[in-house]
Each structure stands twice: as C-alpha cells, then as structure tokens.
Structure 1
Amino acid sequence: MGQAGTGAEHVEVRVTAGSRDEADRLAAHVRRLHSYDVPEIAAVPLTAGTDAYLHWIREETSPPNGWEEARSTTA
C-alpha cells in the first residue's frame, strides 16, 4: 500500500461530449503525466442541466466545420 502524501493538490475538470474511448485516452494521458501511482480520474456523465448550459457544451465540444475533412486528408 502506498503512502499518503502531504503536498498540494489541484483539481482539474475536463468537460467533453466525447465517447468512452476518448475518455479512456484522456485518462491514459493523465496517468502518463501524473506523479501519483493512482491519480484520481473519474468520468461523470452529464444527465441534466439548463438548456443554455447543455447547448454551450454541445457547441464547445463539437469539431469545427470542415474538421473531419481536414483531418482525413492529413492522416
């Protein structure tokens, strides 16, 4: 069992409308960079919210127009 730390901790929240695969890739990236053996990583589904906030999430997490086409030509 690991030791409890006493250093400062910071909370980072990522909001995405991504898939489970995208959440898994983000978690793997955090584990590679994090100094803890077991960093706290949790995915929480958004099940409700105000119409304005849900609209904002959809707008902010959607790829820009033409992104898929540009991505497929550079891959």
Structure 2
Amino acid sequence: MATKKPAVAPEKRKEMMLKFLEANICITRTEYSRLTNVTDRRASSDLQEYLAEGIIRKRGGGRSVVYIKRNQE
C-alpha cells in the first residue's frame, strides 16, 4: 500500500512554487500538484488564489495553460 505524504501547509506550498519558478520559466497545474503533494483540485484552487493575489500570471489556454511569475514579461 502506498504511503501518503503529509499535506504541505499553504504558505509552504506558495514558497515551493516560487522557488520552482526561480529555477524554471513556468509551472503547470500538474507540476504544482506533484511538487506540493496536493490533489489536482487543490492545485487548481491554490493557483487561482495566487492569480488573484497577483503573484503569478496565466499563459495559454485549455490543456496548455502554464503559470509564470508576475514580474516576468
């Protein structure tokens, strides 16, 4: 039986994503989900929250959506 990793706190998830974005141009919902060990639904919710806060920007549409740091143009 697979052991579930403990949930990562919201602030820690944001920190992990920002660190990932320092090393990479963009992040997808799936990458965010794997990185922070959350469900796809939670990942979508978190990313929408970061968009609303202005931390990240959305690029593309549909299945090819990626998220980039706000200050990158």
With a CA cutoff of 8 Å and minimum separation of 6, indicate the structure with the bigger relative contact order. Answer: 1
Structure exhibiting the larger radius of gyration computed from Cα positions: 1
Give the structure with the higher percent helix: 2
Higher strand share: 2
